[in-house]
Structure 1
């Protein structure tokens, strides 16, 4: 489904990242926590692709969603940072096989690993888990977030993450760089039964490759590791 959408809010969440809120016209459009959006801008032939940072419930409740886009010279990102304004009209389409959508009563332990704006789908997943638990549709589980960025000011959504982590009894750890030692100690301290673990990774491709290797060297199988490479 391709839907028209209107920008309802745009603001800075770091020196290089803008959060954009969209009102979606198509009432049948939904998404799963972790998925991304094709972003079609009038007069631009290049299509943008950005992960949602909002919960699926926000879409169901008021037909809106949120994105956080880092500045770059890529035409869609450049347009968002320099020309986009409240009232701008775009078109969008949901896509991607990277998502967390557990069955009722399912209770996977989750290790979420994010680099930079790779936090977007993780924030969506954390909010979705919080919604499921508040509705009694998910058993108790362990949720650990490892989040890295080049600088403290680029660690976006810290306040939101702390709020949801508090609700979930989720632990969040902030790093400049996530090493193999960090992965090994996290698994040992928080995931005694690694068979229940599902790990989601989002960030630059070299980081994803490294995290996958670190997890596999600690006995985590390919089937338990989920990622999507963007850049």
Structure 2
């Protein structure tokens, strides 16, 4: 199948910045945290926000092959992609929809291993008035044709010979998406490490702190806890809710505590020499967590973040 003409035109309109060679390409705290603020009150769209970020040259045709209701407000799409499509855990896609002028920007919530084994990626999208998100919740069906282009400087892509790092993943709300991709990728590399007898991929510890409004909005909570049970010496999680709602009580065993993530919660998982922290969530969340981490002695170049709204 071929991409619609409007999508091919879009591909020619946006030229990607140069590709970096580092294994960890991301936005660090030291790189001006105000880069996504505007002097006016006009809301920037995805292409404006990410104009300086890395993008691949090619817009690939794709087709929706599954739709899952992840929560009352979030749908997860399974999207069959072109054989040449590739991405790194943590990256996003420009999401082109025929007949919709605005371009969506959605982080993958699956890992590269799923792409390799099944030829699909997954996107979890919260319902919103923004046209691409609204289309996903109101008009998208299995079989819908779209097109995608990978981009983003925020990813985790260790090589087999790299020394281990201890990951701290801190997510607020649907900011879980790229961090969930990183978590799944790290678990995938851990399985490769075990299968090779410890020769490939030296994996350090991984701790995920994830806060949402209520239990229903804690996306992927079952899989997160399953990964932690599979690798109890390596993976741990702190899942929490900031507001109580109907049904929370029966799910309480999944929640370690209620309330917002604090500096005290992070302290045990911060080693200034070994910890690499990835953050994703609303800007005030990013700013509060970043300040807490720097107070705990974590260097700014080891605090990596993605702001989406």
Matched length:
226
Q: Does 1:141 align with 2:204?
A: yes
Cα distance in 2 for partners of 1:89, 1:140 equals: 38
Structure 1 segment 1-231 matched on structure 2, within 5 A:
1-25=58-82, 27-105=83-161, 106-136=163-193, 137-169=200-232, 170-175=235-240, 176=242, 177-179=259-261, 182-187=262-267, 189-191=268-270, 193-231=271-309
Deviation at 1:209, TM superposition (A): 1.0
Answer whether contact 1:3 1:93 (CA < 8 A) is retained. Answer: yes
| 1:55-94 superposed Cα distances (whole Å, 9 cap, x missing partner) | 1111122221000000000000000000001000000011
CA gap 1:41/1:20 in 2 versus in 1, 3 angstroms: same
Residue aligned with 1:135, SS: helix
Deviation at 1:208, TM superposition (A): 0.6
| 1:7-48 superposed Cα distances (whole Å, 9 cap, x missing partner) | 0001211110000000002x1211000000110000011000
Greater Cα offset, 73-82 or 53-62: 53-62
TM-score, length of structure 1 as denominator length:
0.93
Deviation at 1:184, TM superposition (A): 3.3
| 1:118-165 superposed Cα distances (whole Å, 9 cap, x missing partner) | 111111111111111111232242211100011111001111111122
User: 4+ residue runs of structure 1 moved beyond 6 angstroms?
Assistant: none
Cα distance in 2 for partners of 1:3, 1:150 equals: 35
Cα distance in 1 for partners of 2:138, 2:222 equals: 26
Higher helix share: 1
Answer whether contact 1:146 1:178 (CA < 8 A) is retained. Answer: no
Q: Tell me, which stretches of 5 or more residues in structure 1 are unaligned?
A: none
Answer whether contact 1:130 1:167 (CA < 8 A) is retained. Answer: no
Residue aligned with 1:98, SS: coil
TM-score, length of structure 2 as denominator length:
0.71
Deviation at 1:185, TM superposition (A): 4.0
Look at both structures and tell me which one has the larger radius of gyration over its CA atoms.
2
Answer whether contact 2:209 2:239 (CA < 8 A) is retained. Answer: yes
